[in-house]
Structure 1
Amino acid sequence: MSYRLHGFCQSGNTFKVAFLLNALKQPWEAVFVDFLNGMTRDAAWREQTNAMGEVPVLEDGERRLTQSGVILMHLARRHGDFGGQGEEEQQEVLRWLLFDNHKFTSYFATYRFMKAFAPVAPDPAVMAWLRGRLDNSFGIVDKQLADHAFMIGDAPTIADFSMCGYLFYPVEESGYEVATRFPNIAAWLERLRQIPGWASPYDVLPGERLPPRW
């Protein structure tokens, strides 16, 4: 039985799950969600698929899981890989997952969406505020990676899959240059590309690639 993953190609949160499924060598089927045309705001979709109005959604047999962090933890436990070794390391994985969801991915995904896909031009003051938060959170991660091959140590975990989710998209979508400003993050991304199963989000997820709006 294969998994069914609901999402769309611009969603880095969906890509996190797709990347892990591929690394785990698990078969899965993509279910396109037309987010940019309002599908997740539809009451019927929320009633049938996800009351939170978000992707990804993972169907695992009769179970339906939402929130990328929960899905990553579920897959790591079910397949016995990438979850961290021992209680202390697993707590570290959870610590970075929470940091990612609250700050690292949260600020970056919002910044990128407003520049690339929002229906109206973003407010410069809001973008400047977000950029300050980005600089801080990316600096924290770059420092962590100065003496770690991956977020927790010498082997990738779901913390890495979570935190890289939006960083494989073209830089013109965000206008936020990572490679030259954060060399440790750039080197880490190259290591992640070597994991069997990695591919570009636009190659593995459904939907149409769109040029940035702003």
Structure 2
Amino acid sequence: MSSIKQNIEQVISQITSATEKCGRTADSVQLLAVSKTKPIVAIEEAIDAGQFAFGENYVQEGVEKVQHFATSPQADKLSWHFIGPIQSNKTRQIAEHFDWVHSVDRAKIARRLSEQRPEDMPPLNILLQVNTSAEASKSGVTFDELATLADEIAAMPNILLRGLMSIPQKADDYDSQYAAFHALAEAQKALKGKHPQLDTLSMGMSGDMEAAIAAGSSIVRIGTAIFGARDYGTKQ
């Protein structure tokens, strides 16, 4: 059985290979280790391997991990990303503990995050989740609604609009994967005229990472390939 360190090295090798194929530098893509449901000891092993950015889907679990590592020797290097669905009654915990939020798709949620972000913390980095495949079962703003939402959120204090995120409809072929990611990248380009600070595209997981990187992803979200199969219990 491979170790978390070996898994991280393998994923980084895949990222490097994908960036080379499309003429990008390896450091233009950040690896976000999705550590949801994984224990502290697994995250410690990843940190020891040089991984410092972690993604969490469940608020209480994520906050507990952030608090645990707040006093660790590597605390200043760590970056915590909330990537799951956001309930209104959880926004304060997210605003007070995380560095990034990838899954904002409503002005109401952004406004709460803005109001609840502590004044002594840096602005909370915000990505707008876009439903690129228009699936009823998926969260995310539509392409048609995106510009209006971006304008509204960009004007809010204590948060900083940084880019877009998507979880496209599952596709096994490269061309379909690339088309969905390219559409998101084009949407971000269209927004940059008015919002030049947009510099982040969070898209791509283990099965479609190569297509995402070719389309311009700057953050790939990888979980099982690093930590192994997840044990889903009652999370909040």
Return the TM-score normalized by structure 2: 0.29
Could you say which structure has the greater relative contact order, defined with CA pairs below 8 angstroms and 6 or more residues apart?
1
Structure 1 or 2: larger strand share?
Answer: 2
Structure 1 or 2: larger helix share?
Answer: 1
